Amino acid sequence: MSEQILSIQDLSVIYKTDLETVYAVNHISLDLNAGETLGLVGETGAGKTTTALGVMGLLPERTARVTSGRILLQGDDLLKKKELEMQRVRGEKISMIFQDPMTALNPVLTVEDQIGEALYLHNAEELTAAQISKRVEAILEQVGIPKERKKEYPYQFSGGMRQRVVIAIALVCNPLLLIADEPTTALDVTIQAQILSMICDLQRHFGTSVIMITHDLGIVAETCDKVGIMYAGQIVEYGTLEDIFTGDRHHPYTVGLFNSIPSLTDHARRLKPIEGLMPDPTSLPEGCAFAPRCQSCMEICKRQAPPVIDRDGHRICCHLFGTEGEGKA
């Protein structure tokens, strides 16, 4: 179970328009092994979705540029692939669950057609129409939809049920990697619990690796093995679930993020927000991007980009830990 599926190395993505350049993703690196779940956490605009679209090869053609890095899927660099080759990868090896099930489905096709489409397009086993229909029925049952409903259209399903259809589409080709981009943000908590436990069950069943993109640290705690905390296009802290949720060496942003969550168990009445706002991605500050909001900001933070301090795979991108002389800059 330790085969490496995905490795992103030093990836940078910019969006360039006539007026401005948005630095959406800045030099991020991460690894994912078979059967593992990686959580990418961050606020709106942190670059989570851009990273996912980069892996999928779905970045908007006209504006987005990958300026550095490699994305290796089982050792194969996806960024070097031509569009036709990427079409074979998408849906078959990597698939994605989108945030909003209300808009991710085609309203004029039945769910059977939409799930079957992936099988027709990636028909390596040369399945007949009847076999494909059988597969669609099987996956519908697996995601908890009675197979009798396969001839129905998306509008006949509730939000939670539609997200189940989206998950069925993503998993029907048994991909190596599933990218779930805020899969439950549009759903109620009781439905969210149903969907998350289903994703985890199916992941175990198929042995799929998952990248779980979310802003909810609670979801991360329940589903992920590894976590990357993103801020202004960078992974500011990266490690195992234990690294991030325990211990006292953390990036100040991680600490702020945990403190700002209203807790169900804590009795403090006042919340601790992170003062200020995420910097404008068109003009990131020199030095550390978090420096203007950071409580432990030092002089050096404003001038120089922080080094990545790596201790047994727990990476923190902060000057605070650079002075200890144990990290490699």
262 touches other proteins (CB under 8 A): yes
> Rounded distance, CA 158 to CA 103, Å?
13
Question: Shortest gap between Cβ of 261 and other proteins (angstroms)?
Answer: 6
Residue with tokens 């597969």: 135
Strand arrangement, sheet containing 64-73: 21-33, 4-16, 64-73, 76-77
Residue 293 DSSP symbol: G
In the structure encoding, which two tokens stand for residue 76, read together? 């194969």
Residues listed for the chain: 329
The answer to whether 215 contacts other proteins (rule: CB under 8 A) is yes
Query: Among residue numbers 177 through 206, which ones bind other proteins (CB under 8 A)?
Result: 188-194, 196-197
Asked if 13 and 24 touch (Cβ cutoff 8 Å), the reply is yes
Which residue lies nearer to other proteins by CB, 153 or 245?
245
Q: How far is the CB of 258 from other proteins (least distance, A)?
A: 7
Residue from 220, 301, 316, 318 touching other proteins (CB under 8 A): that is 220
Site string for other proteins, 265-294 (x = CB under 8 A): x---xxxxxxx-x-----------------
CB of 186 to other proteins, least distance (A): 10
Assign 3-state DSSP to the chain and report helix, strand, coil percentages, each to 5: 35, 25, 40
E-assigned strand segments in 60-182:
64-73, 76-77, 94-97, 177-181
29: helix, strand or coil: strand
Compare residues 188 and 286 and give the one whose CB is closer to other proteins.
Answer: 188
CB of 293 to other proteins, least distance (A): 9
Q: Min. distance of Cβ 218 from other proteins in angstroms? A: 3
- Three-class DSSP category at 53: helix
Residue 199 CB, nearest distance to other proteins (Å)?
13
Does 103 participate in binding other proteins (rule CB under 8 A)? no
Contacts with other proteins by CB under 8 A lie at 43-44, 158, 160-161, 188-194, 196-197, 215-222, 241-242, 245-246, 256-258, 260-265, 269-275, 277
